[in-house]
Amino acid sequence: MWYGGGSFFRSVKVDRSWTIFLDRDGVINAHPQNHYVHNWSEFIFAEGAIEALKKLRSKVGRLVIVTNQQGVGKGLMSQKALDIIHNNLIDELRTHGVSIDKIYSCTSLKSISNNARKPSPRMGYRAANDFEDIQFNKSIMVGDQPTDIQFGKNLGTKTVLLKGGSHEIPLNCTPDKTYSSLLEFSETII
């Protein structure tokens, strides 16, 4: 059971009815040196991420990845290259006994108005449309950037910030909890 500090987490019991939304870069994989993972050979799992995902998978009903990938919009990589990365990610995790329900990505540039990039909740709404059992009040968004936390707040989920990203968090999007890694977070849920 996950019981933690903070008003949201004092009496929360996470079980199979819960969904965990996960950012990709900086959460599942190490932040790329040049800001983008252009191909699978550049994808490096963050330390402890596979073990953490195993623990989370055993506890919750859904694991969903939501990721901004404007490298495609910038022409730094193709949609096909991004699809290969995500297919390989799913396959590699499967070899470790971890299933990811779905990966949602927004490849639009930040400058394009009305896009689905986080903090917009649109990727979360797509997930809820695809999986009718997703309840945002029984969901946790885990990310390492302010946009991840605001995405969760916009959906009405609990929010977890992993240290290591940009932590200039606006006052209106303070995370419910902060952890040093995905592994540390996963150990609090078990």
For residues 40 and 49, give the distance between their C-alpha atoms in angstroms, rounded to a whole number: 17
Catalytic residue among 25, 144, 148, 176: 25
CA distances, 29 to each of 23, 24, 40, 155, 156 (Å): 9, 6, 11, 24, 25
144 is catalytic: no
Catalytic residue among 23, 144, 148, 176: 23
For residues 183 and 177, give the distance between their C-alpha atoms in angstroms, rounded to a whole number: 14
For residues 185 and 160, give the distance between their C-alpha atoms in angstroms, rounded to a whole number: 8
176 is catalytic: no
CA distances, 121 to each of 11, 42, 115 (Å): 26, 28, 10
**What positions carry a catalytic annotation?**
23, 25
